[in-house]
Amino acid sequence: MNNIYHQEMVKEAVKAKFRGKSTVVSKGVPAYPFSAEREFRRITDAYMGLLNQTLKAHIPEMMNAYKKERHGDSRFDDSRDLDNEIRRMLQKVSEELEKSLADFGLDDKIRKISEILKSKSTREWKRIIKNTFAIDITEDYFSGEFYKDAIERWIADNILKIKSIPTDTLGNMRKILLDSYLNGRPIRDIQKDIQEEYNVTKSKARSLARDQISTLNAQITKLQQQDAGVKRYKWSTSKDSRVRDCHRELDGKIFSWDDPPEMWYMTKSRGIVYTGRRCHPGEDYCCRCVAIPVFDYETIDLPITSKGSLTTNGRAA
């Protein structure tokens, strides 16, 4: 926001809550968007389920190619022929998969996730402002262009990342099949390896979904707070056993949006190792931490109308 008259009106509306001080820490912690995370996981699970289905339909055929070879009915003069045969079979899997994935509507589903996350975090922001200053912000302010660039980039990036997962998996399966054959491994071992590869893929997709929700949530939070003239935040973890040591150390400390802290991890042999990466809450891999805004009286600006500066019972805040 950048209108000086509007800003004066906002300052007037929130003045009492600063009680003469230059800063006030938000009352209430922005909730982490677990609902969006769950919804995203459902989508990646279903997407990877299509991969599993297609693979299962083709595994008997692949195993037959092995059996024939093992019983001397050889069609393969050397490993190159086998490699070609494996490629041919996996190509068929890949084409079939492409058809079912095209019908899946991944793009629309990811866009829906971004909508869920956007409205969830806008509601959280509204709640925080209400708790801290007893005023209502206009949600419409955030509905149009406000997050557009960040969200469009996020959607495009996610579609690419998710679509590359089945392709990578098929590549790994080709290696499993070829290596197993060259080492003369029994068929049941190969089937186990293929299933294992699929399980790894599925959990990779789940981690991606988790990480991407925290990434977008972090971006949205930063946009909201900086737009409101917030220069600093208090780091807040989810306070459970999964919180990493580094973030537990940062919990409750105040950082500037211009100067995020450096991440580190603990090793047994070398103690603390700094990674060189600087992150705000939610920017580190799969981080569920959030930023509690520290409002500045001098720079505060919020999307309110003069009517919005009244509390729900009609009295001036």
Binding to Zn ion (CB under 5 A) within 164-193 occurs at none
Helix, strand, coil: what percent of the chain each, to 5? Answer: 60, 10, 25
| Residue 280 interacts with Zn ion (CB under 5 A): yes or no | no
- Smallest gap from residue 215 Cβ to Zn ion (A): 12
Q: Count of CB atoms within 10 A of residue 132's CB? A: 17
Using the minimum distance from each CB to Zn ion, give the nearer residue, 287 or 300. 287
Residues in a beta bridge with 296? 23
| Residue 263 interacts with Zn ion (CB under 5 A): yes or no | no
Question: Considering CB under 5 A, how many residues would be counted as binding Zn ion?
Answer: 3
Using the minimum distance from each CB to Zn ion, give the nearer residue, 69 or 211. 211
CB-CB contact of 166 with 55 (8 Å)? no
Using the minimum distance from each CB to Zn ion, give the nearer residue, 124 or 283. 283
- Smallest gap from residue 149 Cβ to Zn ion (A): 25
- Smallest gap from residue 287 Cβ to Zn ion (A): 3
The helix/strand/coil state of 237 is coil
Burial class (CB in 10 A: 0-12, 13-18, 19+), 96: middle
- Site mask for Zn ion (CB under 5 A), range 34-53, x = bound: --------------------
- Smallest gap from residue 259 Cβ to Zn ion (A): 18
Identify residue 233 by its one-letter amino acid code.
Answer: Y
Name 8's Cβ contacts closer than 8 Å, sequence gap at least 6: none
| Residue 286 interacts with Zn ion (CB under 5 A): yes or no | no
Name 85's Cβ contacts closer than 8 Å, sequence gap at least 6: 65, 75, 76
Using the minimum distance from each CB to Zn ion, give the nearer residue, 90 or 291. 291
What are the φ and ψ backbone dihedral angles of 281, each rounded to 5 degrees? -55, 135
Binding to Zn ion (CB under 5 A) within 86-115 occurs at none
By CB under 5 A, name the one of 82, 287, 300, 317 that touches Zn ion.
Answer: 287
Q: Name the one residue in this structure whose structure tokens are 């009680």.
A: 19
| Residue 247 interacts with Zn ion (CB under 5 A): yes or no | yes
| Residue 210 interacts with Zn ion (CB under 5 A): yes or no | no
Helices (H), 258-316: none
Using the minimum distance from each CB to Zn ion, give the nearer residue, 202 or 288. 288
- Smallest gap from residue 37 Cβ to Zn ion (A): 14
Alpha-carbon 94 to chain mean position: 27
Using the minimum distance from each CB to Zn ion, give the nearer residue, 170 or 287. 287
Using the minimum distance from each CB to Zn ion, give the nearer residue, 89 or 287. 287
Q: Name the one residue in this structure whose structure tokens are 């019972």.
A: 313
Rounded distance between C-alpha atoms, residue 128 and residue 257, angstroms: 18
Task: Write down the number of H helices and E strands in the chain.
Answer: 7, 6
By CB under 5 A, name the one of 62, 289, 290, 300 that touches Zn ion.
Answer: 289
The residues that touch Zn ion, with contacts defined as CB under 5 A, are: 247, 287, 289
